[in-house]
Chain A
């Protein structure tokens, strides 16, 4: 038995109604009217009933509203709906006669719940759906259209939705135009590939229907079905073609859309279609915009020159009557790659016109597009500078901000001061989001005009003092940090501003970040002592996370500046009394390290923190505790962290971040480590040392796509071949890649992929032993051949034949280079690390790189060849200099630190003096040998 639930919303409302009395006056009027009429007419009486019903309904709604206001639940009567209650109410769909008003209300509730993301089980959804199908009895227009909406919403969650197919077909071919369009849309939503043929005839008729809404619905629905059953919809091309010549702008647009999507894989057909429509001209501006998009996409794909007819067409659209088309054309030209200034000019002048349009939307669109142009072609936009300056005072702040940031990009160095003044006049009025845009523009400006840093710095520090959200503050701090890094002269002012900022900073992340920066940069400034006060204030005033970061920063000062050391030790001693464990631990640790007064210790434990991967460390320690042994835990068994390559600006050594993210996402390498450990053949190889980026061994779009990832272990290498079979009539089995080494490398074992069905990637592995006797043999070339058993199969069912045959496929050669043996490690303080390793195994040699023309190129080549991490931002070559020093750090296979210092000088070619230091002599030899 179903338990009777408390009466839900609607029922309660009705119980209210029963107690509502018809107003006495209205009742009297009503009876008068009745007396005056010829009473025998049934129609009149029915009308009278209808009147009463409406009266009730009106009262009911009024009352309902009043109640709502009283309970203060706002204007949403659906706020506290419960799914089970609504579904129970849906039972009234089964009643006869149907009450359209109530049913409508319940359908609204169901749709509301669906859109709120409420989960409906299949059974309950199906039950509600079938109950809803009965509402097709009623001829109430609103109810019927609500049914269409419900069908569309429930199409995926209910079973057997095709039950309404005939009812919908009847509506779409019926006389009521109001029903036809929505019925088509609902029908196409529930139709699957097998059913589509049954309704094909109706769809064809509907596409060419003379009622625009019907035709549009049919076209748009067909567009949705192209994804599902391309072949069937393709047969409707003729009808779509006819619709494309319709007078209605929407129908024409939708028809063009359908035609394009049917042909988009066939470039020739698209070109033909474009030619046809560009010649004949279209009525609909929407269709024009679509044509422009298709044309620019085609231009992009064919890399056609700008003298092609397509470009002419786009340019001709700049003279269209409709603003939308003009904008679309201008935007298309602006976004074209390798566009010359001459081609840009007309587009920019059109946008310039829009800048003075009375419509805010147009101004916004124009200035936004100009902003984008300014990034690539600042000179093209200079012509608009005057209009943009007018827009600075625009009442719409979004437009004003974009105008200013555009001007910042295009303006000359001299105008920067003025613009900055203007920005500061309204910066407090715009939203945080746009403030971030302004900050980014300033950051870009700083890189362009480094000499202006003092103006910028002042401005930024003012902004920093204003109120603002976290994102905004972070953007400013990032910007200041990047200025400091780019520009040594600004370092002191920048640090001073940041120090001031952390005095009153509520964001822990920013405070720790700045403290880390202070620890890194502060000791190297002429007057390190002045930062100590700011840092120690943090220890006194802030939360644990900030205190811990402050302790780390203090320790760095102590390690680097001998004259400060006694005072730092005193301060650290105080920190050892802190209430937080982490702060105490750090203070104790640093205290002890500093008291040793050994440079090497300082370098290893204070400047350059741990360089292991954190999840890897966690796993190794866990493993160690599971198998207790006499041996101490060896840090070298822990896989190294892959250095953050992209985020050099924001790197944070683990020591300084006391607030690690909740869960460190395992890096790519940790994932591989896990995968390889699951293969029994690779047990006992030790921890994974390095995984290379994938190398493609086949051309794109061949029968089989193979890429290789090289995994380096202490004494072995594992090649992982990710193979994909792109032939749908073949099943590959026992796939392996045979490798022929050119050097003394030895293939130990193949692990084949058991089966490789169509388009499902699979992996096979090859295990190689590295030569022990010759440690200098680091590079080797392998010729690879993929061998497999082919079984032909039915492309549709994937059912393979019983017998197969062996076949092979030649892949490109695979190279192992020195970079595969070196893992990148970031040393935040290269000098300290350099001293730590010592000059025991130092070697130095000079090379001439004849083929290289610039220092930048040389630096890039060296980094990619050695696969080491550039330190101290030495990968960036300052402009207009003839010499440069590159610092590289890494760990060689086996766990030996390697440091490389390369002095580069630009003469005819580039002359390079390489100094290598390592804890192992062999490693030094290997590197020098590979460079030579």
Chain B
């Protein structure tokens, strides 16, 4: 897939993905997002979020825009306004808060049954947070309590994390890149195939389009490129299904 990444990088399309960060209040959403940001952008004191805030961070291949939603009861009904454009969901659970695990489950079920979410193959990443607490449940236990095994139509993953130290966060984000990239590359392959066709076409008209005279990329628009894209596309389709 290196070629696509390169192509994407070249086009300045480090793929931007919108991620919703949800979960009950005091589960550590803002702390997790803060920890994922580059160290010079991190803030020291975290206060309860009111409404939502938008944060950005990057990984090697993707650029994340996170809608960090407030988890307080009165704001939870506002989550749904942002479901539509979320391409992935991070759901944070306070593993030490056994009492409210049912509340978390209830919110999760409402989320999964929302018309904007229900029929989409949207990846969900669960962070079983606060592992440093003494009476924290294990991630397995959390996934049992939340009945995660019932989610059949969406890729999901659960990580045990400690947002204070950052343990487990990278693992989760790495997982998230997988389904997102598939999603994205499929899209990209369509674009690049169209682009390649276009390039082929315009290269027939000399001196009008500048790319035809540029040497480092001249290999790009030889015939086989088009076929390779087609093949790749089929592979991807197979992988996805």
Binding site for B on A (CB under 8 A): 31, 34-35, 39-40, 42, 45-46, 94, 96-97, 130, 133-134, 136-137, 160, 162-167, 169-170, 195, 198
Q: Chain A nearest CB: distance from B156 CB in Å?
A: 23
Q: Among residues 84 to 99 in chain B, which have CB atoms less than 8 Å away from a CB atom of chain A?
A: 84-85
- By DSSP majority rule, is chain A's interface helix, strand, loop, or mixed? helix
Beyond A94-B85, A134-B85, A163-B78, whether A42 also contacts B50 by CB under 8 A is no
* Contact in complex: A137, B65 (CB < 8 Å): yes
Q: Taking CB as reference atom, which chain B residue is nearest A136?
A: B54
Q: Contact at A97–B12, with CB atoms within 8 Å?
A: no
**Known contacts A94-B84, A94-B85; A163/B12 CB under 8 A:** no
Report if B73 contacts A (CB, 8 A).
Answer: no
Contacts of A96 in B (CB 8 A): 16, 18, 65, 85
Closest B-chain residue to A171, C-beta based? B53
Minimal beta-carbon separation of B33 from chain A (angstroms): 12
Contact of B50 among A31, A136, A137, A195 (CB under 8 A): A195
CB pair A166 B49 closer than 8 Å: yes
List chain B residues, Cβ under 8 A from A130. Answer: 81-82
Number of A-B contacts (CB under 8 A): 59
Contacts of B70 in A (CB 8 A): 166
Q: Are the CB atoms of A166 and B85 closer together than 8 Å?
A: no
Q: A96-B85, A134-B82 are in contact. List 12 more A-B contacts (CB 8 A).
A: A39-B214, A40-B216, A96-B65, A136-B54, A137-B56, A162-B50, A162-B51, A162-B75, A165-B51, A166-B50, A166-B53, A167-B52
In contact, A46 and B12 (Cβ under 8 angstroms): yes
Q: Which residue of A lies closest to B210 (CB)?
A: A31
The residues of A that contact B48 with a CB separation of less than 8 Å are 198
Q: Which of B173-193 contact A (CB under 8 A)?
A: none
Instruction: Tell me the nearest residue of chain B to A161, going by C-beta.
Output: B51
Asked whether, in the complex, the Cβ of A165 is within 8 Å of the Cβ of B85, the reply is no
B147 at the interface (CB under 8 A from A): no
How many residues in B have their beta carbons less than 8 Å from beta carbons of A?
A: 26
> CB of B201 within 8 A of chain A?
no
B231 CB to closest chain A CB (Å) equals 28
Question: Considering the chains assembled together, what is the distance between the CA atoms of A169 and B214 in angstroms?
Answer: 49
Q: Known contacts A94-B84, A96-B16, A96-B18; is A167 also within 8 Å of B214 by CB?
A: no
**B203-232 interface mask toward A, CB cutoff 8 Å, 1 = contact, 0 = none?**
000000010011010000000000000000
B9 at the interface (CB under 8 A from A): yes
| Top 10 A-B pairs, shortest CB-CB distance | A163-B51, A165-B50, A166-B53, A130-B81, A165-B51, A166-B49, A31-B210, A136-B54, A166-B50, A166-B51
Closest B residue to A133 by beta carbon equals B52
Query: Looking across the interface, which residue of chain A has its beta carbon closest to that of B217?
Result: A39
Any A CB within 8 A of the CB of B10: yes
Return 5 A-B CB contacts under 8 Å, by A number.
Answer: A133-B81, A136-B53, A162-B51, A166-B50, A167-B54
Which residues of A lie under 8 Å from residue B85 when comparing CB positions?
94, 96, 134
Shortest Cβ gap from B116 to chain A (Å): 12
Whole-angstrom distance between the Cβ of A196 and the nearest chain B Cβ: 12
Residues A163 and B210 in contact, CB atoms below 8 Å apart: no
CB <8 Å contact, B53 and A170: yes
The smallest beta-carbon distance between A413 and chain B, in angstroms, is 73
Main secondary structure of the interface of B (DSSP, over half): mixed
Q: How far is the CA of A40 from the CA of B214 in the complex (A)?
A: 10
- Contact: B12 with A42, CB < 8 Å? yes
Q: Which residues of B contact A160 (CB under 8 A)?
A: 78
Residue of B nearest to A40 (CB): B216
Q: Chain B residues near A97 (CB, 8 Å)?
A: 16
Compute how far the CA of A46 lies from the CA of B9 in the bound complex, rounded to whole angstroms. Answer: 12
Who on chain B is nearest to A46 by CB?
Answer: B12
B210 touches A169 (CB 8 A): no
Contact A169 to B50, CB < 8 A, known contacts A134-B85, A160-B78: yes
Contacts of B54 in A (CB 8 A): 136-137, 167
Chain B nearest CB from A179 CB (Å) reads: 13
If A130-B81, A160-B78 touch, whether A34 touches B210 (CB-CB below 8 Å) is yes
Q: Give A519 to B152 CA distance when docked, in angstroms.
A: 98
CB distance from B179 to the nearest CB of A (A): 18
With the chains together, A170 CA to B30 CA distance in Å? Answer: 13
Contact residues in A for B12 (Cβ distance below 8 Å): 42, 45-46
Chain B's closest residue to A165 (CB) is: B50
A202 and chain B: residue at smallest CB distance = B47
Least CB separation from B55: chain A residue: A170
| Complexed CA–CA distance, A675 and B203 (Å) | 89
B residues in contact with A31, CB < 8 Å: 210
In the complex, the answer to whether B51 meets A42 with C-beta atoms within 8 Å is no
Kindly identify which residue among B9, B10, B52, B84 contacts A166, using a CB–CB cutoff of 8 Å.
Answer: B52
Which of B51, B65, B216 makes the CB contact (< 8 A) with A167? B51
* Chain A residue, CB-CB nearest to B53: A166
C-alpha spacing A52/B35, complex, angstroms: 38
In the complex, the chain A residue whose C-beta lies closest to that of B214 is A39
Interface centre among B9, B53, B56 (most CB of A within 10 A): B53
Check if B9 sits within 8 Å of A42, measured CB to CB. Answer: yes
Nearest Cβ on chain A to B83's Cβ, whole angstroms? 11
- In this complex, what residue of A is CB-closest to B207? A31
A159 — nearest CB in chain B belongs to which residue? B78
Other-chain residue from A35, A94, A134, A167 in contact with B53 (beta carbon distance below 8 A): A167
Which interface residue of B50, B78, B81 has the most chain A CB atoms within 10 A? B50
Question: Are B16 and A163 within 8 A (Cβ)?
Answer: no
Please report the C-alpha to C-alpha distance between residue A166 and residue B81 in the assembled complex, in whole angstroms: 16
A413 and B216 CA atoms in complex are apart in Å by: 100
How far apart sit A40 and B56, CA to CA, in the bound complex (Å)?
27
B84: chain A residues within 8 A (beta carbon):
94
In the assembled complex, the Cα of A31 lies from the Cα of B209 at a distance in Å of: 9
Neighbouring B residues of A39 by C-beta, 8 Å = 214, 216
| Distance to closest chain B CB from A567 (angstroms) | 86
Q: How far is the CB of B203 from chain A (nearest CB, A)?
A: 15
A877 vs chain B, min Cβ distance (A)? 72
B10-50 to A contact mask, C-beta < 8 Å, 1/0 = 10100010100000000000000000000000000000111
Kindly state the separation between the CA atoms of A925 and B22 in the bound complex, as whole angstroms: 91
Question: B213 to chain A: which residues have CB within 8 Å?
Answer: 35
Most buried by B among A130, A137, A170: A137
A136 partner residues in chain B, CB cutoff 8 A: 53-54
Q: How far is the CB of A829 from chain B (nearest CB, A)?
A: 74
The distance in angstroms between the C-alpha atoms of A162 and B50, with both chains bound, is 7
Inter-chain contacts of A163 with B (CB < 8 A): 51-52, 75, 78, 81
Q: Which single residue of chain A is at the shortest CB-CB distance from B50?
A: A165
Q: Which residues of B contact A40 (CB under 8 A)?
A: 216
The 8 A CB mask of B64-84 against A (1 = contact, 0 = none) is 010010100001001001101
Q: How far is the CB of B218 from chain A (nearest CB, A)?
A: 12
Distance from B114 Cβ to chain A, minimum over Cβ atoms (Å): 15
Please give the distance in Å from B70's CB to the nearest CB on chain A: 7
Chain A residues near B51 (CB, 8 Å)? 162-167
Q: Which residues of B contact A45 (CB under 8 A)?
A: 12
Task: State in angstroms the CA–CA spacing of A97 and B56 once bound together.
Answer: 13
B189 to chain A, nearest CB (A): 19
CB distance from B31 to the nearest CB of A (A): 14
Q: Are B16 and A198 in contact (CB under 8 A)?
A: no
Chain A residues near B216 (CB, 8 Å)? 39-40
Q: When chains A and B are docked, how far (Å) is the Cα of A483 from the Cα of B216? A: 99
A845 CB → nearest B CB, Å: 81
Chain A residues contacting B56 (CB-CB under 8 Å) are 137
Question: Which residues does chain B contribute within 8 Å of A42, judged by CB atoms?
Answer: 9-10, 12
Residue among B9, B18, B48, B78 with max Cβ neighbours from chain A (10 Å): B78
A46: which B residues are within 8 A, CB to CB? Answer: 12
In the complex the two chains form, what is the Cα distance from A34 to B212 in whole Å?
13
| A42 to B68 CA separation, bound complex (whole angstroms) | 31
List residues of chain A with CB within 8 A of the CB of B210: 31, 34-35
Question: Which chain A residue lies CB-closest to B75?
Answer: A163
A163-B78 Cα distance, complex, nearest whole Å: 8
Shortest CB distance A292–B (Å): 42
In angstroms, Cα B79 to Cα A130, docked, is: 11
- Which B residues are CB-close (under 8 A) to A133? 52, 81
Cα–Cα, bound, A130→B68 (Å) = 15
